[in-house]
Amino acid sequence: MTDCRPPSEIMRLARLGSAHQTRLSFMRVLLRGMRRNGWRVKRALWQLDDTGVGRAVYSAEGQGQCYSLVAFAHDLPDCQRSDRVIAEAWDATFALMDGRPTNADLDRLAANVPLQEAGRVSDSELVLSRANRSSRLWAHVVERLAAGLQPDAERLAEVGYLMRTTAVYGSGKFGAADHAALAGRPLMDGPFRAEMLAVWLIRAFVCDLVEHMARVTGGARATCLAPALRRSLGIGNSTGLGMAPFLVNHPALLNAWIDARERAFARVRALPASSAGTREGFERALKGTEALLAGWRSKHPKQISKLADLKGDLRRISGKISTGLLERAHPWQALWIWAQSALTIEGQELVLALMLEPHGTLIDDLAEEMGVEEYRKARIDGSMTLSELSDLIRQHFSWALQPDYAVPEGCARFWYVSEAKLEPRLGERHAEAGADLEQPLDIGRSVAALAKTLQDLPGDTNVADFLRAQPEHRRALRRIQMVQSAPYGEIRDNLISADLMPIDMLRCKLAFFGATRFDPRSDRWVRITMFQNAPLPDELHQLPEDDWCLGAQLLPA
Amino acid sequence: MMATHTLSEITATATKATRAAGFSWGVAEEAGLAVRRLSAHGLPGAEALAVLLTNKGASSVGDQGPAPGCGLSKMIEMLDMPPHSPAQLGPIKAPLLVVGFALADDGHWTVGWPGGAVHAGPEGLMLSGALPGPVAPVSVRQGCSTGQPLTAHWRSRPVAPDAWEKLEVLAATLLVPESERSRTSGAGPDA
């Protein structure tokens, strides 16, 4: 049996921040499931006026379930368009509802959804979201379609989307239903399935809206987007620090995601031989990635460097494959052994994604093991002795003991929640006030403090007695015990150090979503694209299954 | 109509309020989880916590608080080391919070107080008699009576407005006021 990669290797930020989407990513799992289970989407309501203001409903039905995206389109002056999560007005606002909305539901949502955080939805809703236009591209597309012409494909490719979401809230936020509402429901009882469904339906709405505006402008001359161009447009997203604490605050869930991916990777590496089909699938994914890379642009120095590395790595992978490596015994393990010494971390993580790609029948079942009932995993074992606890620290938390948290660089940052924005922020400990209200993301430092305390205590004392006397160590102690059931649950880096790059945390999570075209705009926020090249709802059952994410459409048939 | 709150909101607000009241983050997490479990079974956990946190002199695990202790500290002690024999506690403040232990455990437990008791197990919870007042002696023993238990449910539920306000006011004290520097760099400048 091939071992999974150890947490000490893969839970470092440098590697988590180089993650790529895989066929276990949530967007892909959702669309595969919808296709296989015969889901259908219909536009149940379209009430938009000639200014593009109004409401629409898209209902997705399958496996005895129905979810409806209720969309509100607004007339937003250019000066109010902001990607920051703290904005107060948007081009469009959305709620994903469980079931079909009645007229009363629509009126209730119309009074609340456009207000977003300032409004209140009910537990009949699952997701609350909003989006803004890409102004220049929107105007270009409307103008061209209105004239009966297609928009410039190069300009579309450059941006990749017509609207970008600035928040997608789910699971109990602002009154929406808790994730537990979806427990036991086929396909939808998995991480972020409802949120991904909402974004996919938002993409359909955006395409319809731009064509609506073209018809208003151009009348009979207007045309629709060509299917291939339509498909090339994803939904953009700007993601900032609000997302970063999630991975720290949900260790059991993070463990489930990484564990499923790593078990999939181990299954593939354990194969004694490859088939012609899997070799072809791998090479097709490789070529598709090359094509996708051509459209992946960034102005951020770190990402520019990573993209250059990736291009070099792709050439090296192609060269290695051309030697016939995949036709030999244990080809995937051989490829991985080679990749570890020949490629950058970014390239290595891409090889993982490429190796999973042609092995759907072998690994797709693991997508159903990526959810977890977190609250049952959090209990402390009070009977453990401090000696046993110290052993766990030595075995699994050496990374936490290494940094010097007393020097300014070792604790330069602190995480807090802003009073003005009600959002997570990162402060400079030695230059700003507020560190006394720090959020507990300093796992490494807390574990180190606990380890130091344990040095002076008898090893046969049990944890229950210790915590009764020193409850300030309770959170760190829980994390240490969790490593036994959730070895991939901890980011093994100092999250308050001067050189922390929060975008690494964002990229890890977004890759699991299935995002592409990571474009960091600073060390703290990133733009991405979701569902680019994916089928629109009316094409779900016409196009090949699940070949959209690695650029299959960009390749010759 | 009384406003409703989701279990996520109840858990988050209870956790933050407990931290803001001076307890460690680890203890605050236990408070949030206990209130979540109680609320999911239809019991007024948030209300009990609000009374405890806003009642000066409440005993905490984190400080050297006065006897006779409180439901939160006793609940945590039992979570860490379930009693092997029937236990008599108290009188203690916020006695209802002790039920949070019984709801987290895989076994069957009866948590009683004068005039009422909760029988809890993995399949749910049964309340007999009245809920406890703000201070009461509590008994905890293994085993529970038979009957049709109330199972946990995920739907939003009302929380007494005054209790909710108390928790929210406390939780808000964890927020960091804006400064000139945080305005420009807290979320990161554009590239």
pLDDT of residue B191: 34
| Mean pLDDT on B68-73 | 83
B81 in contact with A at a CB cutoff of 8 Å? yes
* Exposure string for A539-549, b = 16+ CB within 10 A, e = fewer: ebeebeebbbb
Give the best residue of A246, A249, A300, A375 to mutate against chain B (max B CB count within 10 A): A375
Helices within A98-167 (DSSP H only): 103-112, 135-146, 153-159
pLDDT at A554: 56
How many Å lie between the alpha carbon of B129 and the closest alpha carbon of chain A?
29
Q: How far apart are CA A557 and CA A477, in angstroms?
A: 55
pLDDT-derived band at A56, boundaries 50, 70, 90: very high
β-pairing verdict for A413-417 and A424-428:
antiparallel
- Digit-coded pLDDT (tens) for B80-97: 999 999 999 979 999 999
Query: What does the mean pLDDT of chain A come to?
Result: 94
Model pLDDT, residue B1 = 63
Helix (H, G, I), strand (E, B) or coil at B121: strand
Alpha carbons A250 and A280: distance in angstroms, whole number = 38
Backbone φ, ψ for residue A403 (5° rounding): -65, 150
Contact list, A421 vs chain B (CB under 8 Å): 178, 186-187
Tell me whether B6 touches chain A (CB under 8 Å).
Answer: yes
pLDDT exceeds 90 at position A236: yes
pLDDT at B189: 46
Please, which residues bridge with residue B111 across strands?
B118, B140
Average pLDDT, chain B: 88
**A45-59, A71-85, A355-369, B166-180: least confidently modelled range:** A71-85
3-state helix vs strand vs coil in chain B, percent to 5: 40, 20, 40
Q: Is the dihedral of CA A509, A513, A519, A521 positive or negative?
A: negative
Pinpoint the alpha helices (H) of A357-461.
360-363, 386-396, 398-401, 443-454
- Reported pTM: 0.94
CB neighbourhood size of B188 (10 A): 20
Beta-bridge partners for B128: B117
Q: Is the pLDDT of residue B56 over 70?
A: no
Could you tell me the CA-to-CA distances from B32 to A373, A508, B9, B10, B46 in Å, in that order? 16, 27, 10, 8, 9
Q: What value does the mean pLDDT take over residues B12-19?
A: 97
Confidence at residue B64, expressed as pLDDT on a 0 to 100 scale = 32
| DSSP code for A536 | P
- Token couple for A139: 């105007």
Distance from CA of A421 to the nearest CA of B (A): 9
End-to-end CA distance of chain B: 48
pLDDT in tens, A295-331: 787 788 888 888 899 999 999 999 999 999 999 999 9
| Closest chain A CA to residue B37 | A375
Task: Kindly state the average pLDDT of the residues A201-206.
Answer: 98
When pLDDT is averaged across residues A461-467 and rounded to a whole number, the result is: 97
| Residue A291 pLDDT | 85
Cβ contacts from A onto B, under 8 A: 152
DSSP annotation string for A435-475: GGG--S--HHHHHHHHHHHHTTS-TTSBHHHHHHH-GGGHH
Query: Residue A134 contacts by C-beta under 8 Å, 6 or more apart in sequence?
Result: A159, A161, A162, A163, A164, A236
| Cβ partners under 8 Å of residue A117, min gap 6 | A174, A422
The token duo for A87 is: 């904005």
Structure confidence at residue A420 as a pLDDT band (50, 70, 90) = confident
Q: Token digits for A371?
A: 């959810």
Query: Of A431, A428, A433, nearest to A412 (Cα)?
Result: A428
Structure tokens at B111: 């948590």
Q: What is the ipTM of this complex?
A: 0.93
Mark yes or no for CB contact A417/B174 under 8 Å: yes
Distance CA A481, CA B79 (A): 15
Contact: B175, A418; criterion CB under 8 Å: yes
Mutate to test the interface with A, among B9, B19, B35, B80 (most CBs of A within 10 A): B80
CB half-sphere exposure, A101, CA atoms < 13 A: 28
**Above 90 in pLDDT, residue A455?**
yes
- In this prediction, residue A140 carries a pLDDT of 97
- Give 3-state DSSP helix, strand, coil % of chain A, rounded to 5: 50, 15, 35
CA B135 to chain centre: 15
Amino acid type, A264: A
pLDDT digits (tens, 9 = 90+) for A530-554: 999 999 999 999 998 998 887 655 5
pLDDT higher than threshold 70 for residue A465 = yes
How far does the CA of residue A136 sit from the closest CA of chain B (Å)?
19
Instruction: Write the residue in A123, A431, A471 that is nearest to B155 by C-beta.
Output: A123
Tokens, residue B139: 């008994």
Give the residues across from A40 on adjacent strands: A61
Give the number of other CB atoms < 10 A from CB of residue A400: 26
Inter-CA distances, B90 with B74, B114, B138, Å? 10, 12, 6
CB contact under 8 A, B191 and A177: no
Asked whether the beta carbons of residue B175 and residue A437 sit closer than 8 angstroms, the reply is yes
φ, ψ at A163 (rounded to 5°): -135, 150
**DSSP letter assigned to residue A52:** S
**Is omega for the bond preceding B68 within 30 degrees of 0, making it cis?**
yes
**How many other CB atoms are there within 10 angstroms of residue B49's CB atom?**
31
Q: Do residue B176 and residue A427 have CB atoms under 8 angstroms apart?
A: yes
Q: Are A502 and A496 in contact (CB under 8 A)?
A: no
Which residues from chain B sit within 8 angstroms of residue A166, using beta carbons? none
Going by their DSSP bridges, the two strands A125-133 and A161-170 should be labelled as antiparallel
Burial class (CB in 10 A: 0-12, 13-18, 19+), A463: buried
Answer yes or no: is pLDDT of A557 > 80.
no
Here the tokens at position A285 are: 């994914």
* Angle formed at CA A36 by CA A33 and CA A42, multiple of 5 degrees: 80
Calculate mean pLDDT across residues A355-382: 92
Predicted local confidence at residue A517, as pLDDT: 85
Q: State how far the Cα of B153 lies from the Cα of B42, in Å rounded to an integer.
A: 8
Integer Cα distance of B97 and B35 in angstroms: 7
Please work out, in degrees rounded to the nearest 5, the angle formed at the alpha carbon of residue A461 by the alpha carbons of A455 and A466. 80
Is the pLDDT reported for residue B59 higher than 60? no
CA B116 to CA B130: how far, in whole Å?
5
Looking at residue A238, its pLDDT comes to: 85
Number of residues written out for chain B = 191
pLDDT tens per residue across span A12-49: 999 999 999 999 999 999 999 999 999 999 999 999 99
Identify all chain A residues contacting B182, using CB atoms and an 8 Å cutoff: 418, 425, 427, 432, 434
pLDDT band, residue A555 (cuts 50/70/90): low
Cβ <8 Å between A475 and B25: yes
Q: Give yes or no for a contact between A425 and A416, defined as CB atoms under 8 angstroms apart.
A: yes
With CB atoms and an 8 Å threshold, state whether A474 touches B27.
yes
Determine, for residues A522 and B189 on separate chains, whether the beta-carbon distance falls below 8 Å: yes
C-alpha A379/C-alpha A478 separation (Å) is: 7
| Residue in B36, B177, B191 closest to A299 by CB | B191
pLDDT of residue A314: 95
pLDDT for residue A368 = 95
Partner residues linked to A164 by β-bridges: A132, A236
Q: Of A298, A350, A305, whose CA–CA distance to A519 is shortest?
A: A298
Rounded to 5 degrees, what angle do the CA atoms A194, A440, A459 make?
A: 120
Token code pair at residue A508? 């890890």
pLDDT value of position B178 = 84
pLDDT of residue A304: 86
Q: Which pLDDT does position A315 carry in this prediction?
A: 95
What local confidence, expressed as pLDDT, does residue B68 receive?
46
Q: Tell me the shortest Cα–Cα distance from B175 to chain A, in angstroms.
A: 5
**Which chain B residues are within 8 Å of A422, Cβ to Cβ?**
175
